[in-house]
Structure 1
Amino acid sequence: MSVIDIAPLLLPLETTDTFNKYFGFLNILGHYYKFNIQVPKEESKLQGGMKLECEWALHHRLGNHVKILIKQRLNNANSLAFFLKDFVFIVENSLKDSFVEPELCSVVSLQILEQIQELGWNRLLDLDQTLSLIELAHKDDSGRMHKLKIFLNKQDMTIRPICQTQLPEAFNFIWSGKTRLSHIFQEFEVAVNLYQNFWNMLKEIDDNCCVLEPEKPTFASTNRRIAIKSNLSLHIVVNCRQPTTFPECKFVGNPPETSEFRETLNLNLHRWDVERSLYKNLQEVLDIDFPSPTDVSIQVVKADCGICYCHNQNEEVPDIVCEDQRCSHAFHQSCLYEWLRNLNARQNANTLFGECPFCDHPIRVKVPALLT
C-alpha cells in the first residue's frame, strides 16, 4: 500500500538537503485532521528520524498510552506508508468508543478539500485550521507570483466568498451556488494576464529609476514617485489597462523648478508615442535621463513635512514647497490646509492663501478634495 492510498490529501511542503516535509489531512472515522510530518531523505535514518505533528482537535482526544504507542511506531517505522497505516489503525481503534457521527462542518470540509485537490495542491500556499481561508498562488509568464486569498462561509457554501488579491483593480468574478474554487482561480488567472504589460512597464521604471514611493510597491500599486534630482521628483499614476498612454503627472519640489519641467512637458507632449514604453516616453517628453537607483540619495529627496515632521502620512507625501528658495520647506496638503485654516487664512474659491509657517513667505494650498 502506498502513501497516496492511505493519505491522498498529503501535500509536499518543503524539501531540504536532509528532509522532506509534508502537510496534509488524514481521514479518521470520517473526520479530516490536519497533520505535518518530516521524513529523512536517507533510508538509514528513517527509523527514529521521522517527526509528526497533528492538530489539537485530534491530539487532545488521544490518551497518553496511545501517544506512547504512536511514538514507538514512529521510531520503528522503516517507511512513511507503513507508519501512516499503523497510525490510522491505532487512532481509529482508540477513538471508536468516543466516536461521534461527522457533523455538517466535516462534510463541508471534505467538499473543500476535494475542490483543492481538483484545483491542484501545487497551487495551495496556505490553509487555515478551519479551512475557511484558502491562499492560492499563480505564477505568470514573467515568473511573478500572484496570491489569491479566498474567505469561505462554511455555514453556507452558496454564499459568495470574499476574495483578496493584489491586482490594480477590484477582482470581480462570476458567482453562483455551483461555482467551484477552480472556476474562481481560472478567472483570477485571466485577470492576472490582463495586467502583464502594466507590470512590465512599471518594472522597467523600478529597474532604471530612483523610485521614492511607494517604498515597497505591490502588484496593486499604480503610482510611482520618481526622483529627477535632489528635492525634485515626478509623481505618476498609470492606467493599468493602457499603461503606455500618458499618465497622470505631478511635479513635487520647488515651484520655479516644477514650473520649468511642467512647461517642458507641455511643449513635448506631442512626442508621446503609445508604441514606446512608459519609461522611454517620460524621458522623451521631459528631455532628460532619469537618475538610476544608485545615482540619487533617497534621504536627500525625501523631505519630511514641516508641520507633522513625517514623510508618508496616509499615503500622502509632502508635495507643497515654499517658493522662497532660502526656505524650501515641504508640507502635506492636508497639514498645510489645517494650519492655514486654524489661522483664519483668506480663502478664494477652493484655495487658502496664507504665509509659510517657517519664513512668512506667501503660500497657498487647495482645499482637500474630500472637503470641497
Structure 2
Amino acid sequence: MGSHLEDQLLMMKKFPLLVPQNSTSTVYDGFLSVEKRYFHISLVVPKYPLLDGMNLHCSWELAYFLKDKEKEVQELADTCSMLSFYLTSLQNLLTSCMKTQWLPPSQLNCTNMESFQRLMSDIETVGMKHIEFLSHSMTWLKLRVIDDAQRCHILRLDVGANYPHENIQVQADLPQIALQNIKKNNSVVGIFRSFVHEISSLQNIWKLLDNVDEECWVLDPDKPTRKDMTRRIVIGQNLSLQLTFDSNDAMARPSMKLFGPELGVQPFRESLAANVEEWQDTCSLVENLKCVLSVATFPVRPDSLSQKKDQLVYEGECVICYSVQLEGELPSEVCKNVRCGSPFHASCLLEWLQCVPGNIQSFSRIHGTCPSCGSAISCPISP
C-alpha cells in the first residue's frame, strides 16, 4: 500500500502529462517529455504498482528513437520496482538515443501539444480528485462533485481537439437555467467553478423536492432526476396536482395545477383559493400542501407486489393501456360520470373512440362512450 501511494505521488510530480484512466491506476495515457519534445504513450499495468505483464504502446516518433532498443526497454521493466522509476529510466534511455539519432523536427508529431498542455493545466487546477474519467483521445472528460447532502454530480465536457479554441459541449443533470449559466464559460476551470456554484445554490430546492418524492405518490416524472423541477402527485381518487418549482427560489410557492374530474377537482380548487395565503415559509412543502388543500394525508404509492393484487387498474393509470406514462404522456382525459371518473391518455381514448361504432366528430373533438361505464365522453382529435 505504501509503495502504491508513493508511486502515485511521484507520477503526479514527475509525469503530470500521463493521466491514469481508471481508479486503480492500471491504465495510463498521455505524453512523455524528453529533451523538450513530447511523445504520446499508453501504458497498461495490470498488477500496478508491480510492473509484471506491463504493456507499452507509443507513437511512431518514440518507436523510431527506441528501434533496436527492445532488450534495454524490457530490462528496465524487469529491474524497476515502480512505474515512476521505469519512466525515469526510459527518459534517460531516450535522451541517450536522441543524441545519436536525428529526426527532422517537422516530422515530430506535436499532437496539438499546446491544447493538451492547457487542458492538463486546467485539470490540475480543478484537482485530480474531481476527475471521474478522461478519454483516451483527451477530447472529453467527466468531472465529479459531492455536495453537502452527499449527492454525486457528474459533469461531462466535450472539449474537442483544439482546446480552448472550440466551443465546449456541456452535459449535466441540472435545471435548464443552471445549465445555461454554466455554458457561459468556455474553459474547463470556469465551467467547473460555475458547476460547483450552481450545485451549491440548488441545495435547498433539491432538499424540498426530495421531501416531495419521499412523502408523496409521484406520478410524473416516473424517475425524477436533478434537472426536473416539476412533480405531479396523487391527491385523491383519479385526482392529481402538478407542482412547478422555481429553481432560483426554493422559498417561493410553486405554481399548482389540478387534474381530474370536475366534481373531484372543485373542492380542492376552493380550498386553494381560500387557504393559499396560509402558505408559510417556515413549514415544509408537504405540510403547506396539506394546509392549503385541507387534507390530513396524501395517498401513498401502493406496493404492487403486496397491495391491491385483485385490482386490475391502479391509481392514476389509464384504464385502456393500464399504464401511467405512455411515451411521456400522462392521462389527461377523465370520464365525467361521478361514479366512474376513469382517466385516459388522450391518444388511447382517441384510438378507442375511433373504433366505436356510431362515434361523432364535431369540430376538433370526437364523441362516443366511455370504455369503463358507457357514459358519453369526448376527446380532442389529433391534428
TM > 0.5 between the two?
A: yes
Deviation of 1:164 after TM superposition, in Å, equals: 1.8
**Any conservation in 2 of the 1:227–1:290 contact (CA below 8 Å)?**
yes
Give the alignment's TM-score, normalised by structure 1: 0.75
CA distance 1:55–1:192, shift in 2 (3 Å) = farther
1:132/1:153 contact within 8 Å kept = yes
CA distance in 2, matches of 1:94, 1:355: 88
Q: In the alignment, what sits opposite 1:322?
A: 335
Query: In the superposition, relative to structure 1, how do residues 103 and 327 fare at CA in structure 2: closer, same or farther (>3 Å)?
Result: same
Matched, 1:83 2:86: yes
Q: 1:246-300 CA distances to partner (integer Å, 9 max, x unpaired)?
A: 3233344455333333333333222222343322211211222224567786982
Cα displacement string for residues 65-102 of structure 1 (whole angstroms, at most 9, x for unaligned residues)? 97787666545532232233345566888997888413
Displacement of 1:30: 0.9
Shift of 1:201: 0.6
Checking the alignment, whether the CA contact within 8 Å between 2:360 and 2:368 is kept in structure 1 is no
Structure 2: gaps spanning 5 or more residues: 1-6
Partner of 1:264: 271
Aligned residues of 1:353 and 1:362 also touching (Cα < 8 A): no
Superposed CA offset, 1:230-251 (max 9, x none): 6443332222122333323334
Shift of 1:163: 1.6
Distance 2:211 2:336 in 1: 33
What residue is the counterpart of 1:333 in the other structure?
346
Structure 1 CA distance for aligned equivalents of residues 316 and 90 of structure 2 = 60
Larger radius of gyration: 2
Of 220, 245, 255, the match for 1:213: 220
Instruction: Tell me which of 268, 277, 283 is aligned to 1:276.
Output: 283
Give the superposed CA RMSD.
Answer: 4.2
> Could you tell me which amino acid in structure 1 is paired with residue 149 of structure 2?
S
Contact 1:66 1:94 in 2 (8 A): no
User: Partners in 2 of 1:121 and 1:80 — Cα distance?
Assistant: 19
Give the secondary-structure state (helix, strand or coil) at the position aligned to 1:143. coil
The percent identity for this pair of structures is 23
Match of 1:288? 296
Distance 1:193 1:111 in 2: 27
Q: 1:144 to 1:156 in 2, by over 3 A?
A: closer
Higher mean displacement: 279-288 or 291-300: 291-300
Show the 5 A alignment for 1:180-259: 180-229=187-236, 231-259=238-266
Quote the residue 1:27 is aligned against. 32
2:3 is matched with which residue? none
Cα 1:159/1:4, change in 2 over 3 Å? closer
- In 2: Cα distance, 1:205 partner to 1:281 partner: 11
- Runs (5+) with no aligned partner, structure 1: none
1:352 aligns with 2:365: yes
Q: Does 1:362 align with 2:376?
A: yes
| Helix, strand or coil at the partner of 1:220 | coil
Instruction: Please state how far the C-alpha of 1:158 moved relative to its aligned partner.
Output: 2.8
Q: Structure 1 residues 302, 86: CA separation in 2 closer, same or farther (over 3 Å shift)?
A: farther
Q: In the aligned structure 2, how far is the partner of 1:279 from the partner of 1:239?
A: 16
Task: Judge conservation of contact 2:29–2:136 (CA < 8 Å) in 1.
Answer: no
Higher mean C-alpha deviation, range 357-366 or range 310-319:
357-366
Q: Which secondary structure state, in structure 2, belongs to the residue aligned with residue 30 of structure 1? A: strand
Q: CA deviation at 1:204?
A: 1.2
